[in-house]
Amino acid sequence: MSEFDLIIFDCDGVLVDSEIIAAQVESRLLTEAGYPISVEEMGERFAGMTWKNILLAIEKEVDIPLSASLIDKSEKLLDARLERDVKVIEGVKLALSRITTQACICSNSSSQRLDMMLTKVGLKPYFAPHIFSAKDLGPDKVKPRPDIFLHAIDTFKVNASRTVVIEDSVHGIHGAVAAGCRVIGFTGASHTYPSHADRLTDAGAETVIARMSDLPATIAALGQWAGAV
């Protein structure tokens, strides 16, 4: 049986149920700025993207100038909400206890936010010090670029083809596939939507799970499949 040498977890929407909170904050700010958008549409269209890139995408779509102050305003509001309300994804700790392969986190969230969320939900000890923020690599290195995944692969000195990534967003999967990794999609967070699994599959996920309790067996199955081909 072929086994993986590294498991990379996204954080938002995979380990912590934070994407729904971000969608709530950001949809309200955008609506107030003249771009009405629902929480559900935020999750479907923009999950996994940085707030700055969301604003840039909307400005290209419609002729509404969005104030640069929205970036700072969103960050402050979102940090306050996350510190108060963020919760761990159900089944994550049990899944991690059953996985023996070395693991890390690759996220578009800032290092400070990752530290706050992971400390709050009790997941930091499972990954520290291997908690990587794409923003630390540079503002142009965030997902869907593959840089953060390549950084983790280089840090652990493993082969991308023997690395599996757990992602909940199309943008994250595009980055992982571009890095040469294998990908499991996840749809078990609160921001999921009816076509979520299909979109993750179309983006390059080999399989999609909706429960973290299924992750250890899914990783083992992918390892067996790799060894048979």
Q: Is the pLDDT of residue 88 over 90?
A: yes
pLDDT computed for residue 226 by the predictor: 62
Instruction: Label residue 1 by pLDDT band (50, 70, 90).
Output: very low
Torsion of CA 7, 164, 14, 54, to 10 degrees: 120
Nearest to 36 by CA among 71, 64, 75, 74: 64
In this structure, are residues 13 and 92 in contact, taking their beta carbons and an 8 Å threshold? no
Q: What is the mean pLDDT of residues 93-120?
A: 97
pLDDT computed for residue 228 by the predictor: 42
Within 13 Å and on the Cβ side, how many CA atoms surround 198? 4
Distances (CA, A) of 46 to 49, 100, 161: 6, 33, 28
pLDDT digits (tens, 9 = 90+) for 133-153: 999 999 889 999 999 999 999
pLDDT digits (tens, 9 = 90+) for 101-112: 999 999 999 999
pLDDT digits (tens, 9 = 90+) for 26-77: 999 999 988 999 999 998 888 878 888 888 889 888 877 776 778 788 889 9
Nearest to 134 by CA among 119, 155, 117, 151: 151
Q: What is the mean pLDDT of residues 86-112?
A: 97
Q: Is the pLDDT of residue 2 over 60?
A: no
- In whole angstroms, give the CA distance from residue 84 to residue 152: 30
Residue 97, burial from CB neighbour count under 10 angstroms (0-12, 13-18, 19+): exposed
- In whole angstroms, give the CA distance from residue 98 to residue 93: 9
Q: Could you tell me the two tokens for 197?
A: 């699994």
Q: What is the mean pLDDT of residues 113-119?
A: 98
pLDDT computed for residue 146 by the predictor: 98
For the chain, the straight-line distance linking the first and the last C-alpha, in angstroms and rounded, comes to 11
Nearest to 195 by CA among 35, 25, 16, 40: 40
- In whole angstroms, give the CA distance from residue 168 to residue 16: 11
pLDDT computed for residue 227 by the predictor: 47
pLDDT computed for residue 62 by the predictor: 85
pLDDT computed for residue 65 by the predictor: 72
pLDDT computed for residue 216 by the predictor: 96
pLDDT digits (tens, 9 = 90+) for 159-198: 999 999 999 999 999 999 999 999 999 999 999 999 999 9
> Which amino acid is present at 66?
L
Nearest to 75 by CA among 116, 44, 39: 116
- In whole angstroms, give the CA distance from residue 70 to residue 51: 9
